[in-house]
Amino acid sequence: MSDWLSQVFSDAVRRSYGKGERLFHTGDSILNVFLVLDGQIDLIRVTPSGNEIVLHSAGQSTVLAEASVYSKVYHCDAIARSEATVAQLGTNVFKDRLASNRTWGENWAASLAHSVQRARLNTEVRSLKKVSDRFDFWMSVNPGAFPERQIKDIAAEIGVSPEALYRELAKRRGKDA
């Protein structure tokens, strides 16, 4: 974990979540900032047709739903994809700590800039029409992540159904044979 985040969250409440548990729901009031200590938590938005879109997969040392620090309500759900532990700090306490330490504030600004870059990358991959192109692009920016990641998680990240990704992988295996 980065040193500055461990300092900001040094006295935060620790909470554990089981796989499938929700930390918050779309529309919940924002009272806390969460730092993932271990496990994986996904930010999910459900489309009107019922499809889940993974907006972000947060792992160790990641502040969850960082843009929400400046909102009144959450615009997505947070679901533990594995057993997970988070540090939970009141939003106002978090903001006060950033305001009181210039280095922490600058590190936070850099972290938000990286989040914007990640969001733009996700938009770019989802703009591609073919599953094969989306998967190739994802592989190029996540070298070594496949096959360690679950196929259904990758499919949600690139905005396709797991079945479509399985079909694409089967085609590729057929070409390798």
pTM of the model: 0.74
* Percent of the chain scoring above 90 in pLDDT: 59
∠ Cα 157 122 35 (to 5°): 75
Q: Which of 40, 24, 21 has the alpha carbon at shortest distance from 32?
A: 24
CA gap 90, 26 in Å, rounded: 18
Q: Report pLDDT for 117.
A: 87
- The stretch 83-110 carries a mean pLDDT of 94
pLDDT at 143 over 80: yes
What's the chain's Rg over C-alpha atoms?
18
Q: Report pLDDT for 13.
A: 96
CA gap 144, 87 in Å, rounded: 29
- The stretch 73-97 carries a mean pLDDT of 95
* pLDDT, the chain, mean: 89
- The stretch 33-37 carries a mean pLDDT of 96
Q: Report pLDDT for 148.
A: 65
Q: What is the pLDDT of residues 2-32, one digit of tens each?
A: 789 999 999 999 999 999 999 999 999 999 9
Q: Report pLDDT for 91.
A: 94
Reported as type and span, the H/E element at residue 102 is helix 102-127
Q: Which of 121, 153, 159 has the alpha carbon at shortest distance from 140?
A: 121
**DSSP-assigned letter for residue 2:** -
Gap between the terminal Cα atoms of the chain: 43
Q: Report pLDDT for 27.
A: 94
Q: Report pLDDT for 53.
A: 83
CATH superfamily of 3-100: Jelly Rolls (2.60.120.10)
Beta strand residue intervals within the chain, DSSP E = 13-17, 22-24, 32-38, 41-46, 52-58, 62-64, 77-80, 84-90
Q: Report pLDDT for 151.
A: 85
CA gap 7, 21 in Å, rounded: 27
- The stretch 82-101 carries a mean pLDDT of 95
